[in-house]
Chain A
């Protein structure tokens, strides 16, 4: 699918991908500058570490997986077998800091010297007020699937909004956050055309229309966790909206349409002796603007968006669910299996449902505190003809320090 993400374009420009050697050098220079800034920041932190409680930490992760993937029911498609070994992108180092009982904060950098987290939180007695970038309220982690840089079934039925810059209030188990709306939409033709009824046409050539967006309010996410003795239940929701205006290049005629995204979710996790089980189910519209969605099996998280068609913007309805259950034998061995399912469908009569699913079986073997590896076997299945299906097995190696 071809997703237009203004953030992606900005990031690409920053990385210098559009230019030649000059841009590459700029990229290296930027990276060096960032590194120098980080080193200086760390030096400052070290010298002032006595004024507050700092705790530095890191995590190094290597994935070693064999994959066999192919396009489903596609003539001429052959199985692609690969062995891949890589430093996982979510390896990181960072620190948490406690300035006082009331003021805490933290930062975390990833492998691309990218800021994963940078936030401060003020405990004002009745609640907490967070300013900065970290996980938003709609990040629920019930699975430990390690393939795909800790995929966790997130895009195939899980709930993952990611780390965003936000203003967040916390009152006990209740969280509410305001964050920048995601202004993405889908303009694909080839795949989506097959999912739409014949009456709806997508632009035959791109760009048929210029598209502008307008936003007036921030996105909002809320969650509430109810802790019972053995079970924790979570309720959550999110909403964001923006206006998309399509202007026909030839006729200059404009059509405006609101792209409203919402999501409602419920999740639960329970432990019964050495066993545990957790899962969630959610439904919503244009959920791709708020959480990661993969319905074609590629695990590239580019589904769930409204679609630009000749008749305007068409909403995209989604339903997702996942479950994971495990058994902790002792402090060294644990076992887990998980299954997830997601489907999306454009909100016009006669559309076809687009589905995907994933499942896995794994064991976590802990060699020492913070040192462990996770052998895993599983599949990510795009389900429809032309989608991707990947079988995999391998091991994630990790040291937390």
Chain B
């Protein structure tokens, strides 16, 4: 009996517990608090640059990091903008937003919290300052301020801030790692390239460089001297692509035989030339592509560029003594366009025009709108931020990789430096000693190419690394170099692949199917040995090839 009675008691207790739990569970469901409503106001951007893209990015990042279905609703941008427009007309809320104005606005909007702040960008430094205001005044306003020396650190700063809000306001603990974008699986690096992503996100959102399984490069040519520029194209219409290289004043034309470049022709020009760039394109549409040669004078204070073309029997000069820089760029609507930058006060100063053929010369067409400090030699056109965007990518005077729209507005500027070559321009003398003229170093070309065959073009940029990081001395001396392949990550250009690092400096590169196997190669000219003095070893250059 006792046992039976105990069993009944135990059963009753169990049923009671189940009942209570059921009641509680149902009540929690029925009586759950309504989701908190948060309005994120567009951050004020204090920067000499146009950081509109980052303002949008901050809104998106904070929205996604704070939103919690059923618990935290974040107002959409249009709604916030609508209330902001109204606020500007009201005496109580117009002007700079502060805590008290935020409370008034928040009450009008019917939200629980308002998040506002600013991002200050000066030089390399960036500071994120923000406030999360509880409209009811129940909770103390949560303020956040953090600074960094790298613009790319904005994402970690936002993560940290969002983490603070989630923990202190919404009692939600989410580790920062979960905010990071999903780590992509390392794609197969094409040919001789190395994968540049897949590692941990380091400061600035830049992916750590990883060694990939690239098979390296093939050496097509070893050359005694400095190959200062290079281009590829079928210049004599024999159905085979030639590689054209330039020393200070001579051009060499090669064809690939087996795995070696064989010299077909050497064209000698005035020893007063200092050739810095080559391009090949049939701009005058006569069937033979022209060779556009950008050349400085021997004094490096002027230009004497010229244009060559094969006339069926020999190479003839179409145009010479041109005081401008040439670059051929490819565009979606017009496959090849010749751009010419006039001399200006420096290589990063002259105006840039699209050129139209007129007989054996070229006349100026539309002027290209690009940001300040742009050189046409390191300018490319193509889609960056969206697949249908018409944009320019350039390395500016200071080595920063800049993305700009076709109206010349800067959308992004890298904190890291790219480019550099040993080619330089003398600025006007401003010292009693003639050797003390300021040197302005030129950057090599930029190219777009769909590396992964995913229909999205990446940007190929040379990176020549100096001894001492370039902080010491007036003369550039390079220790090693590689080509980086970058893609837009939503905020900035981020590396995806890179070529293996080579000793010396890369003067130029081209993408072409040289060996006719249906797979493009990345052809790179590398100056492996620079003659440092009259007694040192002669300069040496190599043409190498990576399979793409």
| Residues on A facing B (Cβ under 8 Å) | 49-57, 59, 61, 90, 98-103, 135, 139, 141, 144, 149-152, 154, 160, 172-173, 225, 227, 229-230, 232, 271, 273-274, 276, 328, 330, 332, 364, 367-372, 398, 400-401
Contacts and interface: CB of A to CB of B under 8 A. Distances in A.
B430 A369 contact: no
B470 A367 contact: no
Interface stretch (B29-37, B136-144, B250-258, B431-439): B431-439
Residue picked from B323, B396, B432, most chain A C-beta under 10 Å: B432
A57 B473 contact: yes
B358 interface: no
A385 B532 CA distance: 51
Interface string B443-472: 000000000000000000000000000111
Contact of A52 (B123, B270, B396, B473): B123
Contacts of B536: 368
Nearest to B342: A229
Contacts of A101: 48-49, 372-373, 396, 398
B124 A90 contact: no
Contact of B533 (A103, A149, A273, A367): A367
Residue picked from B124, B474, B536, most chain A C-beta under 10 Å: B474
A368 B272 contact: no
Nearest to B530: A369
Interface stretch (B99-107, B297-305, B478-486): B297-305
Contact of B299 (A51, A271, A332): A271
16 contacts: A51-B125, A53-B398, A53-B471, A90-B433, A101-B49, A101-B372, A139-B430, A149-B432, A150-B432, A225-B428, A271-B301, A274-B298, A332-B534, A364-B435, A368-B534, A370-B435
Interface in B489-534: 532-534
Nearest to A53: B398
The 4 A-B residue pairs whose C-beta atoms are closest, nearest first, are A368-B533, A150-B432, A144-B434, A229-B323
Contacts of A151: 432
A230 B149 contact: no
B408 to A, nearest CB: 13
B345 A400 contact: no
Contacts of B431: 135, 141
Residue picked from B302, B373, B534, most chain A C-beta under 10 Å: B302
A169 to B, nearest CB: 16
Interface in B368-394: 372-373
Contacts of A227: 343, 345
Nearest to A103: B123
B8 to A, nearest CB: 78
Interface residues of B, number: 42
A100 B123 contact: yes
B429 interface: yes
A61 B436 CA distance: 12
A54 B297 CA distance: 29
B272 A229 contact: no
A172 B345 contact: yes
A232 B428 contact: yes
A52 B124 contact: yes
B contact patch SS:
loop
A49 B432 contact: no
B299 A141 contact: no
A150 B429 CA distance: 14
B83 interface: no
A57 B433 CA distance: 14
Contacts of B428: 225, 232
A151 B432 CA distance: 7
B286 interface: no
A160 B432 CA distance: 9
Given A57-B472, A229-B302, 8 more contacts: A100-B122, A141-B429, A151-B432, A173-B345, A227-B345, A368-B536, A370-B435, A370-B473
Contacts of B271: 274, 330
A400 B474 contact: yes
Given A90-B432, A139-B430, A273-B270, A55 B470 contact: yes
Contacts of A52: 123-124
Nearest to A232: B428
Contacts of B123: 51-52, 99-100, 103
B170 interface: no
B472 A400 contact: no
A49 B468 CA distance: 12
B433 to A, nearest CB: 5
Contact of A230 (B270, B302, B372, B373): B302
Contacts of B303: 229
Interface string B333-369: 0000000000101000000000000000000000000
A55 B301 CA distance: 22
A101 B124 CA distance: 10
A62 to B, nearest CB: 13
Contacts of B430: 135, 139, 141
B475 interface: yes
Contacts of B435: 364, 370, 372, 398, 400
B25 to A, nearest CB: 57
Contacts of A328: 298-299
A401 to B, nearest CB: 6
Nearest to A271: B299
Contacts of A367: 533-534
A61 B434 CA distance: 13
Contacts of A149: 432
Nearest to A139: B430
Contacts of A370: 435, 473-475
A53 B420 CA distance: 15
Nearest to A61: B433
A57 B439 CA distance: 13
A54 B471 contact: yes
A70 B430 CA distance: 33
Contacts of B298: 273-274, 328, 330
Contact of B297 (A141, A154, A225, A271): A271
Nearest to B477: A369
Contacts of B472: 55-57, 401
Contacts of B474: 55, 57, 370, 400-401
Residue picked from B122, B270, B271, B299, most chain A C-beta under 10 Å: B299
Contacts of B429: 141
Interface string B261-275: 000000000111000
Nearest to B47: A100
Residue picked from A102, A369, A400, most chain B C-beta under 10 Å: A369
Contacts of A274: 271-272, 298
